[in-house]
């Protein structure tokens, strides 16, 4: 019993900075993706997940990290790099990093989902990771600087509470808007044209990470360590937040349509 209670206790006491986009953000991304799945991919997803849904399993990789079977998966959720890289330098850094990261983990888990020689359980767990990691790498601070742990060491105040730059983008801004994940998905998915879907899905995962890195490079200078984040921060960045969640959902569907459709 004690072995079960300790991970749960750690889970509830851990900072929100461990949860990219928060539970509602990940579920909204999965909900948006569901709207853009092909019929074949939808059937395959349902077959693999059984009684579970994409929205509910979207947070599983965060939850499993605190149990023995997920203890080595922490680095799968981010790619931290130095600041000031141009596009070519970033792609080189991304492809030559030593050790696991979100980029390599996504490639591995995508291959497992598509590999029908694997057991249904292996493919199911890999699918859960794909759903989650695609969301993670669209959060700008999950591609932040290595020297400040993706913004975790940038201490801030937001709405009178202590936080950090990573947590602000993980959940602070999402919580501020006061939407459920279903409301968020409905609003963010509204009006996406077919041409926009094709444009979003055309870029490969390395470019998704580059987009997030570019966004993080713009965000860092706005909030030096010790900043009290003002009321105008949310309206100034809500468009970027919405765009990244929208793109994550549409691109997740594109990935699954390719793997399972």
Per the domain annotation, does 81 fall within a domain? yes
- pLDDT tens string 24-43: 999 999 999 999 999 999 99
Distance of alpha carbon 118 from alpha carbon 223, whole angstroms: 46
- pLDDT tens string 99-124: 999 999 999 999 999 999 999 999 99
Q: Is 158 left (phi over 0), alpha (psi -120 to 50) or beta?
A: beta
Per the domain annotation, does 209 fall within a domain? yes
Per the domain annotation, does 4 fall within a domain? no
Per the domain annotation, does 1 fall within a domain? no
Average pLDDT taken over every residue of the chain? 92
Per the CB < 8 A criterion, the answer to whether 134 and 36 are in contact is no
Per the domain annotation, does 3 fall within a domain? no
Per the domain annotation, does 13 fall within a domain? no
Per the CB < 8 A criterion, the answer to whether 130 and 199 are in contact is no
For 85, the domain range is 20-260
Lowest mean pLDDT among 6-10, 110-114, 235-239, 244-248: 6-10
Distance of alpha carbon 131 from alpha carbon 238, whole angstroms: 23
pLDDT of residue 21: 85
Total structural domains within the chain: 1
Per the domain annotation, does 236 fall within a domain? yes
Q: How confident is the model at residue 7 (pLDDT cuts 50, 70, 90)?
A: very low
Distance of alpha carbon 35 from alpha carbon 186, whole angstroms: 10
pLDDT of residue 18: 52
Contacts of residue 4, defined as CB under 8 A and 6 or more positions apart, other chains included, come to none
Tokens of 57: 């399993």
- pLDDT tens string 140-189: 999 999 999 999 999 999 999 999 999 999 999 999 999 999 999 999 99
The mean pLDDT of 131-136, rounded to a whole number, is: 98
Q: Which CATH number does the domain housing residue 152 bear?
A: 1.10.575.10
Contacts of residue 9, defined as CB under 8 A and 6 or more positions apart, other chains included, come to none
Per the domain annotation, does 150 fall within a domain? yes
Distance of alpha carbon 118 from alpha carbon 121, whole angstroms: 8
Nearest to 211 by CA among 134, 149, 152, 100: 134
């Amino acid at each position: 019993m004690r072995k079960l209670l300790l991970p749960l206790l750690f889970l509830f006491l851990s900072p929100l900075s461990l949860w990219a986009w928060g539970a509602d953000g990940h579920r909204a991304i999965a909900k948006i993706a569901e709207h853009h799945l092909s019929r074949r991919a939808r059937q395959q997803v349902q077959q693999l997940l059984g009684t579970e849904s994409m929205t509910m399993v979207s947070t599983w990789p965060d939850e499993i990290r605190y149990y023995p079977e997920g203890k080595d998966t922490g680095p799968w959720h981010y790619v931290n790099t130095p600041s000031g890289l141009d596009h070519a330098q970033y792609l080189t850094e991304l492809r030559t990093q030593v050790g696991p990261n979100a980029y390599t983990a996504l490639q591995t888990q995508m291959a497992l989902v598509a590999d029908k020689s694997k057991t249904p359980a292996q493919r199911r767990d890999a699918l859960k990771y794909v759903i989650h990691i695609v969301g993670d790498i669209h959060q700008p601070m999950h591609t932040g600087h290595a020297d400040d742990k993706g913004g975790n060491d940038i201490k801030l105040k937001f709405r009178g509470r202590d936080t950090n730059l990573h947590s602000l983008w993980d959940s602070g801004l999402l919580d501020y808007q006061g939407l459920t994940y279903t409301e968020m998905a409905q609003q963010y998915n509204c009006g996406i044209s077919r041409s926009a879907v094709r444009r979003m899905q055309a870029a490969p995962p390395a470019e998704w990470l580059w987009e997030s890195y570019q966004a993080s490079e713009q965000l860092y200078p706005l909030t030096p360590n010790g900043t009290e984040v003002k009321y105008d921060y949310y309206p100034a960045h809500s468009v970027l937040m919405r765009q990244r969640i929208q793109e994550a959902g549409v691109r997740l569907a594109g990935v699954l349509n390719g793997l399972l459709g």
